Amino acid sequence: MNTFPCELAYRLAQGKGEERWLVEGLWSERAVGIVGGEPKVCKSFLALDMAVSVASGRPFLRRFAVQRPGPVLVFAAEDPLHVVRARLLGIACAAGVPFEKLDVHVITVPKLRLDDGEDRRRLSETVALLRPRLLVLDPFVRLHRIDENVAADVAPLLESLRSLERRFELAVVLVHHSRKGAGGMRGGQALRGSSELHAWGDSNLYLRRRDRDLLLSVEHRAAASHSGELALELREEGDALALHVREEQAQPCESPCRPSPQDRVLQALDGSQRSVTARELRSLCRMRTSAVSDALSALVGQELVLRDQGGYRIAQQ
């Protein structure tokens, strides 16, 4: 017989009784997860800031302690290498780290595809060689040629990164975009593509703008999340250009913000693997027929939702 090994529950190994952090309160040790947000909200700056902090042991965002520093491996698919260098240099200056001693390794090939078996093998061998504490991949949309809205296509790519975490005991940061017009939704629900992305993350950081404020929210699978939102600013001091936590924090809402009708329709469509009729949406969203109709008209006009013979579905971004 070739059965799976099992153990009685009371014989399972006990944990240490406290959460183990890579970055205190913000990223669990060996966590895989998302740094998400709409375009131009400094997602890449945030991911590279974590890279510099983990590699140097200096506090992330000049505030949050790094408990287990070590080498970092980065692939920045959208930015030229000289831009990546300049950003890392500025963050290192802000952190007070000698740039030439920074243990950050940058993959220099023009493309890396997680849906390509050879590229996955080369990434695994690179990780095996360098044994980084943290792997940063930025952004997800440049790491594949699949349909992000199809869970069956997305899941194997995410599982390949989970496999790296398990084999090499490292954390993985995947930078990913939020969909357009989803500013009123929760960070994970606003992510572009399949809901597999939100479900995959152990620790997630979400950036968004509210008026002139750049706000950071934190989400964990198995630990208490940071309460409220942190207000950040991109600060330039000489050669140092880096994100900092603002001393005067943005005031939280007095009551939870209720999603708009359009956000509720988007959320309902995002959870479906098929087209959904207006009648079904009325039931899922618990909205009046006229409100669903108005929301759908607006979303179709914004090209966020497509209509076909089966009903309505999220437009591919």
Average pLDDT over residues 113-142: 97
What pLDDT, on a 0 to 100 scale, did the predictor assign at position 254? 40
Same domain, yes or no: 223 and 266? no
pLDDT tens digits, 61-102: 999 999 999 999 999 999 999 999 999 999 999 999 999 999
Is the pLDDT confidence value at 258 over 60?
A: no
Exposed, middle or buried: residue 316 (CB in 10 Å: 0-12, 13-18, 19+)?
Answer: exposed
User: In terms of residue numbers, what domain contains 308?
Assistant: 261-314
> What's the whole-model pTM score?
0.76
Asked if residue 3 is part of any domain, the answer here is no
Going by DSSP bridges, is the β-strand pair 32-37/203-210 parallel, antiparallel, or unpaired?
parallel
Q: Which residues of 153-182 are buried (b: 16+ CB within 10 A; e: fewer)?
A: bbbebbebbeebbeebebbbbbbbbbbbbb
Q: H helices within 214-302, ranges in order?
A: 261-270, 278-285, 289-301
Q: Does 215 lie in the same domain as 82?
A: yes
Phi-psi map region of 65: left, alpha, beta (phi>0 left; psi -120 to 50 alpha): beta
Shared domain for 78 and 222, answered yes or no, is: yes
DSSP assigned state of 302: T
The residue among 215, 245, 275 that closes a domain is: 245
Query: Does 308 share its domain with 208?
Result: no
Same domain, 286 and 173: no
CB 280 within 8 A of CB 265: no
The CATH number of whichever domain residue 162 belongs to comes to 3.40.50.300
- Count other C-beta atoms under 10 Å from residue 134's C-beta: 28
CATH classification at residue 270: 1.10.10.10
Residue with tokens 């009325």: 282
Q: What is the pLDDT averaged over residues 206-234?
A: 86
- Residue 289, pLDDT > 90, answer no
Please name the residues in contact with 102: beta carbons below 8 A apart, sequence gap of 6 or more: 52, 55, 56, 88, 92
Better-predicted residue by pLDDT, 224 or 287: 287
Residue 256 lies in a domain: no
Residue 124 has pLDDT above 80, yes or no: yes
In angstroms, the CA 193 to CA 41 distance is 19
Q: What is the pLDDT of residue 50?
A: 98
Closest alpha carbon to 225 in 194, 196, 204, 195: 204
Question: How many Å apart are CA 153 and CA 112, to the nearest integer?
Answer: 17
Residue 295 lies in a domain: yes
Residues 230 and 276 in one domain: no
Residue 252 lies in a domain: no
* 2-16, 99-113, 207-221, 301-315: range with lowest mean pLDDT: 2-16
Structure token pair of residue 200: 């995959």
Regarding whether 307 and 167 lie in a shared domain, the answer is no
Assigned domain for 2 exists: no
Count CA atoms within 13 Å of residue 238 on its CB side.
7
Give the pLDDT score at 85: 96
Mean pLDDT of 138-163: 96
Same domain, residue pair 148 and 282: no
> What confidence tier does 196 reach under pLDDT thresholds 50, 70, 90?
very high
295 and 214, same domain (yes or no): no
Q: Average pLDDT of 213-227?
A: 84
Tell me whether the omega of the peptide bond preceding residue 69 falls within 30 degrees of 0, making it cis. no
Q: Report the domain count for the chain.
A: 2
Question: What's the mean pLDDT in 215-221?
Answer: 93
Task: Tell whether 174 and 208 lie within a shared domain.
Answer: yes
pLDDT at 11: 86
Q: Is residue 254 part of a domain?
A: no
Place of tokens 């000049």: 62
| 255 part of a folded domain | no
Residue 200 near residue 32, CB atoms below 8 Å: yes
Domain boundary among 196, 214, 245: 245
pLDDT at 240 > cutoff 60: yes
Spatial contact of 176 and 34, defined as CB atoms under 8 Å apart: yes
Residue 230 above 90 pLDDT? yes
Pair 167, 268 in one domain? no
Confidence of residue 210 (pLDDT cuts 50, 70, 90): confident
- The pLDDT tens digits for 154-193 are 999 999 999 999 999 999 999 999 877 655 666 677 898 9
- Which residue stretches of the chain are H helix? 43-56, 81-95, 117-130, 151-168, 196-200, 261-270, 278-285, 289-301
Q: Which of 200, 218, 245 delimits the end of a domain? A: 245
Element (H, E) at 171: strand 171-177
For residue 73, the SS3 value is strand
Tens-place pLDDT, residues 30-54: 999 999 998 889 999 999 999 999 9
Q: How confident is the model at residue 304 (pLDDT cuts 50, 70, 90)?
A: confident
End-to-end CA distance of the chain: 48
Do residues 206 and 60 both lie within one domain? yes
The residues, any chain, with a CB within 8 Å of residue 297's CB and separated by 6 or more, are none
Question: Considering the chain, what percentage of its residues have pLDDT values greater than 70?
Answer: 90
Residue 11 lies in a domain: no
Percent of the chain predicted with pLDDT > 90: 59
